[in-house]
A and B are shown apart, each in its own frame.
Chain A
Amino acid sequence: MGALMRTMGRAIVVPALLAALVAVLAAPRPARAGETGDLLALSIEALMQVKVVSASATARTLDDSAAAVYVLTADDIRRSGARDLPELLRQVPGLQVARISDHTWAVSARGFNGRFANLLLVLVDGRPVYDPLYGGVYWDAQSVPLWNVERIEVVRGPGGDLWGANAVNGVINVITRDAASTRGGYVAGGAGRDERAYAAAREGVSLGERGDLTLYAQGFDRTVRDWNESRGGFRWDRRLGATRLSVNGEGYDGRAERQAYFASLSPPALTLTEDGERFDGAHLTATLRRGESRDGWWLQAYAARDRRDDGLHTAHIRTEALEVRRTRPMGRHGLTVGAGVREVADTFDGSLTVSFDPRHDRVYWYHVLAHDDIALTDALRLSLGAKVERTPYTGWEHQPSARALWRITPRHATWVAASRAVRVPTRGYADASIVQEVLPGSPPTVVKVVGDPDAETTGVRAFEAGYRGRPADTVSLDLATFYNRYDHVNTLENGTAFLETSPSVHTVVPLVLETNAHATAVGTEAVVTWQAARRLRLTATYAWLRLRARPDAGSDDVDNVRRNDGWSPQQQAGLLVRADPRPGVELDGALRAVDGLTALAVPGYVDMTARVAWEPVAGLSLSLTGEHLLRTHHREFAVLGATDVVAEDVPRTVFARVTWKP
């Protein structure tokens, strides 16, 4: 099946996409007199006679998208009080967020959570931020200044047709503010129970003809595990005729203590170390946009460098990418085509505990994509799309999707979708070797997880349905349900023991990372928002998930695969309260109940976050936020592998913030 599909991918899909690309680009462009300037000269009566290009159009807004979408606006972000992106994501229904230790989190959607959860794609301004070695996200290196974020769009369910590999169970798209909307100054400071100091600043200036420029910086120093980080960047937006150019650059430098086991062949075999971990990096991104979202083009190029040194390994990663998309309406169709290429190079200096062979690698990813958004009738829309991607370890992958949305009445809409998305093995799956246990003896025995270069692509076929509507003026409702079938899910297979002579003679018992399992997941997510009064908004969320992962015939993995079943909470419920009791005062609260993780023996918990903010004079805001208030500490996750980070309790914390925006 997989091989056949891939052959078909090469034989049919790629030429078809290329043909579509050529057809769209070569087709005559819809005539337009319509620069706004000309239109302004018309009277309002004449304006009503202007024919608009295509009512169908592409790049549908999220409200009209046939997918489970949740948007956090700048207001939502500010009022959550959250300092860290994963803490903020706890508010999003259907995401599983667990804090492993003070600066490590496990974040996933619709199951398969873990520190290196790799079925969720996280993008910051269109740039994927997962670690290309493991496929997961180092959240401590993604301390995006949240006050500089315009909105965060979270899509649950596959997004491979647009975003490509790893967008299997969801996509988180962080969109930062542009320079024109951040003119003027902003300063913030604070401290808290687990925070020695926090400071942030932003200054945006208009350069007249040359556009707008904003500079920003943020730094913090936490007491627990001495996590500190500084980050600074700029954003420059300018118009070049009808084209808008944005250039954004950012650098970060962070350090933290972390507890991890260090393996050694001489006793003691495993030593709990408190190594200093250091992570730094920078990126430069340039984006060009022309036209508007329904008829225009978009080009993005970026280069990024990331480095992480945790005492057990040092990894240097270099990424460069170029991507282009063109959207144009054609009658009832809104067509989007795109292509892109990404280069990833890394150097990995390991230790006995964790090593990569070879230590240096450079790989290329390419893709083409095509989308058609068809307005069948005014109320019924169909969206077809596919991305065909050439991945470094598994060759061509195709990720198609079909979605339909029916707007039953202006207030009610329902949607269905069927799609396929993939997670491709990363370099870690091919080349890594990670010690799990060292058994004394002569020679000593080392149990290692080793990568398998023949690991297959994990694929999901997802079937989703949802409803979105406003049953009353003050109530909005969003329901989504899904059935996912996964193939080639990870297993750990027993390999054949062998002798190794470096650094000294020892027996290696390999556990080979293969993909010999399958899984099914069903679930439901619901969000109800009620504007109870002008100054009071309540949002209730609920998510239910049932996952069953089983080894394929012939696999010797019995335990590891099945653990997936109890690795994510079966039920999660949340209540968000947002109140403005009087002008200048904001009260926000979040209450969450999370089921236990049966596979990790982590009990369920109820947790609360609260924030109060006061604006004594315009522009000056004082706020106090408490996180994890109900208990002095609680556990949210556990780590099974001996040499991974050690899970810790999540403590109660309170912190204060002062912001000044003249």
Chain B
Amino acid sequence: MEDGTVKHGNWMRALLRWQWMLVLMAGTLVLAASPARSQGVVATEYAVKAAFLYHFAKFIEWPESVGGPSPSEVHLCVVGADPFGDALDELGARGVEGLADGARVQIRHVANLKPPVACHIAFISNSERSRLAAHLADATAAHVVTVSDLSGFAESGGVIQFVLEDGKVRFWINRGAAERADVRLSSRLLALARIVDDSGGHAGTPRR
């Protein structure tokens, strides 16, 4: 056994180390909690992605069965582990411009997109890669606009995929996937996106 091992009744030493640790941790806390200095338009990745999700709601029209072109409440679902931290909380309190008066974003955390789960937009977390096929099939049936930053997402039949280019958030859109889900994306949104096709299927062919 080594010298200095804290064992039976080695009180003083233990106490000293407690203090040392506490000082270290107090220091960590003070520094971690210190207010952020802000300069320029720079933001954390998921704060930007959250803002994009909010904007998407304005540029999408849903079929009648899920509330028509302008739903009175936009259900934004997060499927799987939520990477957004606080970023989504801000959205919940906001009305969406351009939608019916007082339309708000409702944030929901869900495990899947099977009925009766009702979502307009679903952000599919990276934790869901192995279940992606099932989520996409459910989303198509329920007219859900799927969004994810999983690589290969749009090519696999997801509607909108976030990508990072030069440190900026960009998005790719699979038009075929949007058509299959029977949702309309505005031309303004499409103009900003890079359009991709399914790699494994033909656009327009309903898939099981």
A contact set with B: CB distance below 8 Å: 6, 18, 21, 25-26, 28-40, 42, 44-45, 47-55, 57, 61-64, 71, 73-75, 151, 180-181, 239, 242, 244, 289-297, 299, 322, 324, 326, 337, 339-341, 358, 361, 363-364, 366, 368, 390, 392-395, 407, 409-411, 430, 453-454, 468, 470, 472-474, 476, 478, 529, 531, 533-534, 537, 580, 583, 618
Contact = CB atoms under 8 A, between A and B. Distances in A.
Nearest to B54: A40
Most-contacted residue by chain B among A63, A324, A361 (CB, 10 A)? A63
A276 B134 CA distance: 47
Contacts of A299: 29
Contacts of B51: 36, 39-40, 42, 47
Contacts of B114: 580
Nearest to A34: B43
B77 to A, nearest CB: 11
B28 interface: yes
Most-contacted residue by chain B among A25, A242, A364, A409 (CB, 10 A)? A364
Interface in B171-208: 188-189, 192, 200-201, 208
Given A54-B45, A61-B83, A292-B87, A363 B36 contact: no
Contacts of A337: 28
Majority secondary structure of chain A interface residues (helix, strand, loop or mixed): mixed
B85 A44 contact: no
Contact of A395 (B5, B55, B115, B141): B5
Nearest to A454: B1
A266 B135 CA distance: 67
Contact of A35 (B28, B80, B90, B125): B90
A291 to B, nearest CB: 6
Most-contacted residue by chain B among A30, A38, A52, A410 (CB, 10 A)? A52
A380 to B, nearest CB: 13
B31 A26 contact: yes
B38 A473 contact: no
Contacts of A358: 8
A294 B44 contact: yes
B5 A63 contact: no
Contact of A293 (B21, B40, B50, B83): B83
Nearest to B169: A52
Interface residues of B, number: 87
Contact of B137 (A61, A340, A470, A531): A531
Contact of A410 (B5, B88, B155): B155
Interface of B: 1-2, 4-8, 14, 17-18, 21-22, 24-25, 27-29, 31-34, 36-48, 50-52, 54-55, 59, 80-81, 83-91, 94, 109, 111-112, 114-116, 125-127, 129-134, 137-138, 141, 150-152, 155-157, 164, 167-170, 188-189, 192, 200-201, 208
A393 B7 contact: yes
Contact of A63 (B4, B86, B134, B150): B150
Contacts of A290: 32-33
Contacts of A531: 133-134, 137
Most-contacted residue by chain A among B50, B52, B116, B151 (CB, 10 A)? B151
Contacts of A297: 28-29, 32-33
Contacts of A29: 34, 36-37
A390 B155 CA distance: 49
A74 B89 CA distance: 23
Nearest to B166: A51
Given A21-B28, A31-B37, A292 B84 contact: yes
Contacts of B29: 297, 299, 324
Contact of A324 (B25, B40, B48, B152): B25
Contacts of B126: 61-64
A39 B38 CA distance: 13
A378 to B, nearest CB: 8
Contacts of A474: 133
Contact of B38 (A31, A42, A44, A52): A31
A18 B18 CA distance: 16
Contacts of B188: 44
Contact of B42 (A50, A244, A292): A50
A618 B47 CA distance: 35
Contacts of B59: 44
B47 A36 contact: yes
B21 A366 contact: yes
Given A33-B38, A36-B51, A55 B45 contact: yes
Contact of B46 (A64, A289, A292, A468): A292
Given A473-B157, A534-B138, 14 more contacts: A25-B32, A33-B43, A35-B47, A50-B41, A50-B168, A54-B45, A73-B80, A292-B84, A358-B8, A364-B18, A407-B151, A410-B152, A430-B7, A531-B133
Contacts of B8: 358, 361
Nearest to A291: B85
B85 to A, nearest CB: 3
A531 B200 CA distance: 15
A32 B192 contact: no
Contacts of B116: 618
A409 B199 CA distance: 13
Given A31-B40, A51-B42, A473-B133, A341 B48 contact: no
A48 B172 CA distance: 13
Contact of B86 (A291, A472, A618): A291
Contact of A61 (B41, B81, B132, B170): B81
B137 A534 contact: yes
Contacts of B48: 34, 39, 47, 50, 52
Given A51-B168, A73-B131, A407-B151, A32 B80 contact: no
B23 to A, nearest CB: 10
B167 A48 contact: no
A416 B31 CA distance: 35
A618 to B, nearest CB: 5
A9 to B, nearest CB: 11
B22 to A, nearest CB: 8
Contact of A529 (B86, B130, B151): B130
Contacts of B152: 409-411, 470
Contacts of A33: 38-43
Nearest to A338: B28
Nearest to B78: A181
A40 B90 contact: yes
Contacts of B46: 292, 294
Contacts of A25: 27-28, 31-32
B55 A44 contact: yes
A29 to B, nearest CB: 6
Nearest to A298: B32
Contacts of B52: 44, 47
A509 B178 CA distance: 76
Contacts of A368: 24
A453 B1 contact: yes
Contacts of B115: 583
A587 to B, nearest CB: 14
Contacts of B112: 75
Given A50-B48, A339-B21, A534-B208, A32 B28 contact: no
17 contacts: A28-B37, A36-B89, A36-B91, A40-B94, A50-B48, A51-B41, A51-B42, A51-B168, A52-B167, A75-B111, A290-B33, A294-B45, A394-B2, A410-B155, A473-B133, A534-B138, A534-B208
